[in-house]
Structures are given as structure tokens and as C-alpha cells.
Amino acid sequence: MNETPVRTLKIEEIQQAIPHRYPFLLIDRVEVLEEGKTAVGIKCVSMNEWFFQGHFPGRPVMPGVLIVEAMAQTACALFLSRPEYASKIAFFMGINETKFRRPVVPGDRLELRVEVLKAGGRAGKVRGEAKVGEEVAAETEFTFALVDK
């Protein structure tokens, strides 16, 4: 697979494509590697994240469910940034085969690779892998539905 992005979505373009906002926008950039097929989201994890206040005091760890959400937001940006999906929003339908391999902590640069396994006009299935450097932090498969805004 070619690792050179065909296009890069910066934060302003991500916000145009998906409805998420602070404190729930969990990606900083998306590199589309193949239109409609693969992308890599980038999340620079900072100690200033709201969730570290309680998860966990004295030992900050990014909640696994938010890592999965960040992968889903990457997939949403991949789909919803395309003109034919401009009037759509995506909802989780299922999350399967999820495994957490290492904690994600302040200072980590999280790479959120998503690969579309199946896509249609109304739903799809995506495989996601979150890495810090060469280490896998989490992996999952999820299904989603596309609905009108």
C-alpha cells in the first residue's frame, strides 16, 4: 500500500466534515491514503486532556473507549469529507473484536489507522488499529450507519 497521503485533512477540514467538537473531537489530522478505503488519523495526546482529571489521578491513561472513538472519528472524516456524504452523519452500530495492548499516556502520538472492509450508501464496516510508534495500543472492528443530518 502506498503510504503517501492522497490528501490531508487539517483540523478545520475535519470540523467541516464531522460534527464532533471540544471536548469530544479526538483527532488532530487525517491523512487519506486511499479514497474511501484507508486513512490514518493523528492524535497528539496531552496532559491537558479533560479525561486525565479522573482517569487516573497520579497515573494518567487515555480511556480505551476514547481510543476506539478516535478510530471511528478517523473513519467518519474519511467518509464524510467526500461531497457525496456532506448531508450525512455516522452512528456506531457495533463494536467487535476489540483488544487493548498498551496504555496511551500523555506525550504519546497516537496513529489511528482505519481500513474500510465493507461500505455501502447506508452502512459500512471498518477495521481500526491504534499505534504509538511501532507498538499496537488497540485494535477493533466496528460497523456504522450513515443517516441524514
55 included as an active-site residue: yes
Q: Do the domain assignments include residue 1?
A: no
- Is pLDDT at 117 greater than 70 in this prediction? yes
Q: Do the domain assignments include residue 100?
A: yes
How confident is the model at residue 73, as a pLDDT?
98
- Three-state secondary-structure class, residue 94: strand
Q: Could you tell me the residue range of the domain that residue 131 belongs to?
A: 7-148
As a whole number, the mean pLDDT across the chain is 96
| Of 8, 141, 6, nearest in space to 77 by CA | 8
Q: Do the domain assignments include residue 2?
A: no
- Three-state secondary-structure class, residue 44: strand
Is the distance from CB of 121 to CB of 61 less than 8 angstroms?
no
Structural domains of the chain, count:
1
Is the distance from CB of 52 to CB of 90 less than 8 angstroms?
no
Is the distance from CB of 139 to CB of 65 less than 8 angstroms?
no
Catalytic residue selected from 15, 20, 51, 55: 55
Identify the CATH number of the domain in which residue 90 sits. Answer: 3.10.129.10
pLDDT average, residue stretch 65-73: 98
Q: What confidence tens digit (pLDDT) does each residue in 14-23 have? A: 999 999 999 9
Q: Do the domain assignments include residue 24?
A: yes
How confident is the model at residue 2, as a pLDDT?
58
How confident is the model at residue 63, as a pLDDT?
98
pLDDT average, residue stretch 52-79: 97
